[in-house]
Amino acid sequence: MADVVVVGAGVVGAACAYFAARAGMSVTVVDRGAVAAGTTGAGEGNILVSDKEPGPELELALLSGRLWRELAGSGGFEYEPKGGLVVAETPEVTRSLTALAAAQAAHGVEARPVAAGELRDLEPHLAEGLAGGVHYPQDAQVQPMLAAARLIRHAPGAVLRTGVRVTGLLRDGDRVTGVRTDKGDIPAGAVVNAAGTWSGEVAALAGIRLPILPRRGFILVTEPVGGRLGPPVIRHKVYTAAYVTAVASDSADLETSAVIEGTPAGTVLIGASRERVGFDRTTSIPVLAALARQAVALFPGLAARRAIRSYCGFRPYCPDHLPVIGADPRAPGLYHACGHEGAGIGLAPATGHLVAALLTGAAPGLDLSPFRPERFAA
């Protein structure tokens, strides 16, 4: 019998497995698909502090950023400490960005206001006429599929079972003692729900409501414009202040805001869109066109480059924009690590580290009360 079964082989589940196994626990990871086949595989790989206001999520992001830097020492998943550049179109928005940066700096974030005339020192191909911005050296990027796969591979003794669908939970009275699957029962001392957008369905197997909903987003990918074929055209993760507003929005309607970055292969990733349309994967040409227009407005040189593909994924959205992390008092033995929306890749190591501490009885080292699973009970 395993000490813990992790449901979900995305980057959050992989991190939970990694840190639990490193703490000496026997771990089995199950997923109905392949490793990183869900939200993780459709992500850009963001590791951001720049888009988070002071509060519990920022504390989680700072811890996670430190852990990603430590994990990067082993290599193998294209960790890029490129930094972020948030830009503003007007002086009023610049003042708002500068005020946010000052508040973040008081909590340990490195944030440097950038005057309009200095923006092109950081990004030479950036459009003229922008009013200013803020540089965030702690922002980074990983290749998310490689990161998830490597975390599982380096989880000592962990067993990975893909193509296995969880259909129920094993119980001993009120206590959760494993999972029932379409390939047989897997008993365990604890179960971690890291099923991403489908975590609400896993929680429901225990009679628990977690209001996690899919929030669709598209990414547009250009032909290579730098990287291995030449100097990087875009040096940082660059986005407009509107992205911060979109992240915090509760709207179900379509929202787009320019987020642009290069990759080691030379392609440019262009996002970001948000809308709640269930699990509809239909490609939206108007959304892709809006993303392209916003990208060209920031980097005019992209107008001459072809888009070679697009893809979409579903962020696990929680109404209060905070993840669900911790033991569920309504079902002893069940732990949750889900609901990170678009920040799951960035917050994965901290989430795995904290869940492993709870599983082993160690002190988490971070106040988990804002993330408690039962906060939605009312």
| Residue boundaries of the structural domains of the chain | 2-45+145-212+320-376, 80-139+213-317
SS3 86: strand
Residues 341-354: tens digit of each pLDDT: 999 999 999 999 99
Which 8-state DSSP code applies to residue 277? B
Question: CATH number of the domain at 80-139+213-317, please?
Answer: 3.30.9.10
To the nearest 10 degrees (0 to 180), the angle between helices 56-71 and 344-360 is 90
Residues 13-66: tens digit of each pLDDT: 999 999 999 999 999 999 999 999 999 999 989 999 999 999 999 999 999 999
Check pLDDT > 80 for residue 302: yes
SS3 259: strand
pLDDT over 90 percentage in the chain: 88
Own/partner contacts of 224-232, CB < 8 Å, gap of 24 or more, are 224/265, 224/266, 224/267, 225/262, 225/266, 225/267, 225/268, 225/301, 225/302, 225/305, 226/262, 226/266, 227/262, 227/263, 227/264, 227/265, 227/266, 227/267, 228/264, 228/265, 228/266, 229/266, 230/266, 232/262
Tokens linked to 142: 């990983």
* Higher per-residue confidence, 253 vs 140: 140
pLDDT at 256: 85
Looking at domain 2-45+145-212+320-376, what is its CATH homologous superfamily?
FAD/NAD(P)-binding domain (3.50.50.60)
Residues 57-88: tens digit of each pLDDT: 999 999 999 999 999 987 778 899 999 999 99
Check pLDDT > 80 for residue 361: yes
In this chain, the answer to whether the domains covering 2-45+145-212+320-376 and 80-139+213-317 adopt an identical fold is: no
What's the distance, Cα to Cα, between the start and end of the chain in Å? 35
How far is 97 from 323, CA to CA, in rounded Å?
25
Strands 46-47 and 140-141: antiparallel
Residues 211-266: tens digit of each pLDDT: 999 999 999 999 998 655 455 689 999 999 887 766 666 677 788 888 999 988 88
